[in-house]
Chain A
Amino acid sequence: IAGITQAPTSQILAAGRRMTLRCTQDMRHNAMYWYRQDLGLGLRLIHYSNTAGTTGKGEVPDGYSVSRANTDDFPLTLASAVPSQTSVYFCASRATTATGELFFGEGSRLTVL
């Protein structure tokens, strides 16, 4: 069982370039999330999707876009990367249980120069 798969695991990117981080889950969870993690700031929500075809903004959505064409895939796009977007990005999906447990991917480390 793969769970959540993210790609790439690591990427160095020139400022101004477009970048898409991929996220795929095989658990058939409806809700999916993108977080960024920076030292001292914890996990901050970028965008989320409650179900295929819907998306919503999190705490720090500026400079990012998402799409949810189907249940399994939830890509995150940086249209024109800036150095402040250097971070570790985590994709997650939420179980439909009382606890609402989140399952995280292994993360994508992005460096924008």
Chain B
Amino acid sequence: GQSLEQPSEVTAVEGAIVQINCTYQTSGFYGLSWYQQHDGGAPTFLSYNALDGLEETGRFSSFLSRSDSYGYLLLQELQMKDSASYFCAVRDRNTGFQKLVFGTGTRLLVSP
């Protein structure tokens, strides 16, 4: 099986930098993904890490350490529109990595 842990809520102010951590336990690791979901909306894909290190996409970066079973999402120059829930997810080895299992999500509140 697999499990993922994230903080339930993080708060920050506009312009700041925030890091959302994710630790995972899995019988076979294939990659760590991040999704963003605004209230009332659908989850949307943000990033994917298969190898150790930092992946940067604009204001968002994602980091992975496979030896520590740990990753994080880094959001820079925070904007009010970044207020949303953020989910990390891993693929399940037991089904040939076909299933994507999500963490319970981190709610990010950005204040002025």
Contacts and interface: CB of A to CB of B under 8 A. Distances in A.
Interface of A: 31, 33, 35, 40-45, 48, 50, 56, 58-59, 90, 94, 98-107
B95 interface: yes
Interface of B: 8, 31, 33, 35, 41-45, 48, 50, 87, 91, 95-105
The 4 closest A-B pairs by CB, nearest first: A99-B48, A42-B104, A104-B42, A43-B102
A98 B98 contact: no
A105 B98 contact: no
25 contacts: A31-B98, A40-B8, A42-B87, A42-B105, A43-B43, A43-B102, A43-B105, A45-B100, A45-B101, A48-B95, A56-B98, A90-B43, A98-B50, A99-B31, A99-B33, A99-B45, A100-B33, A100-B91, A101-B45, A102-B35, A102-B45, A102-B100, A103-B45, A104-B42, A107-B42
Contacts of A94: 100
Given A42-B104, A45-B102, A104-B42, 8 more contacts: A33-B99, A43-B87, A48-B95, A48-B99, A59-B101, A99-B33, A100-B91, A106-B41
Contact of B44 (A58, A99, A104, A107): A104
Contacts of B104: 40-42
Nearest to B1: A59
Nearest to A95: B45
Contacts of A107: 42
Contacts of A31: 98
A33 B55 CA distance: 26
Given A33-B100, A42-B87, A42-B104, A104 B43 contact: yes
